[in-house]
Amino acid sequence: MSRRGATGVAVGVLGAWVGAALVMVALVIAASTGPADLLSRPRASLAPAVPTTGLTLTLTALPQESVTPEGAKGWDPDGLLAVLVQVVVVLVVIGILLLFALALRDLLRRVAPTLTSQAEPGFRTPAVPPTILAGADSGLDALGQGSPRNAVVAAWVALEQSAAGAGLPRHVAETSTEYVGRVLAVWDVDARSLDDLAALFREARFSTHPLTEPHRERAIAALTTIRSDLGRAATDVGRAPTDARATPAGVDSARPEGAL
């Protein structure tokens, strides 16, 4: 049933209620007059006959009495009328509320936007740029050289420069870890490995305590997983990784100790 049909049905129901209520009020008003009171003829009482010699005869009329029919006892038209009027008022209020609810529902349906779930047409995961694959390979090479601190920093810088070399711009407010993380998240890269490598980079870049060989091993394991995921993503889009071990320009894998 359409909204217009539902509203018409509600109006019809309300009209029927109002009509029935008016009929009930008319019946109550007619019935409230009640049966006509039957009045008896005044009765006169005569005093016993007495000698009239020297006396004045006085006739006293008894008080007028009304005779109430037996069936009219307990009849209270005012109370019944009040009850029926209350019933009619309740029915009318219910009908008005029903109409208001239907009108409000129709209004909300017209105003509220219709949300439809649609897939983005034509969206495909882009191919992994060869420069990013080369950056991951260069980072692995850097992790095998120098001190653990410099090796971790050089590996992360290789990833950052490879992302920039692929033409992927960096936002003004982004940090180095946010930028590389956003770029690599385009493909199905292990998030735990990426977070671990980023944490190692921050520790190497900003901490004062020395980094040890276990730090280097963690970085190698994380970047190896990332490189494997990037290679698989490149294969999935039909661009299998080739010899992409060229070191991006500007990355010096053999940084001296303390150079950040």
pLDDT at residue 226 in the model: 92
Distance of CA 111 to the CA centre of its chain: 16
What pLDDT, in 10s, does the model give residues 103-122? 888 888 777 555 444 445 55
Per-residue pLDDT, averaged over 85-106, amounts to: 84
DSSP 228-258: HHHHHHHHHTT----S--PPPTT--SSPPTT
pLDDT at residue 237 in the model: 61
Phi, psi of 160 (to 5 degrees): -65, -45
E strands, the chain, are 38-39, 44-45, 60-61, 66-67
pLDDT at residue 196 in the model: 92
Kind and range of the H or E element at 147? none
Count Cα neighbours of 187 within 13 Å in the Cβ-side half-sphere.
24
Angle between helices 3-32 and 77-111 (to 10 degrees): 170
The pTM for the full model equals: 0.45
For CA atoms 181, 183, 184, 187, give the dihedral sign.
Answer: positive
Q: Return the minimum-mean-pLDDT range out of 22-31, 128-137, 220-229.
A: 22-31
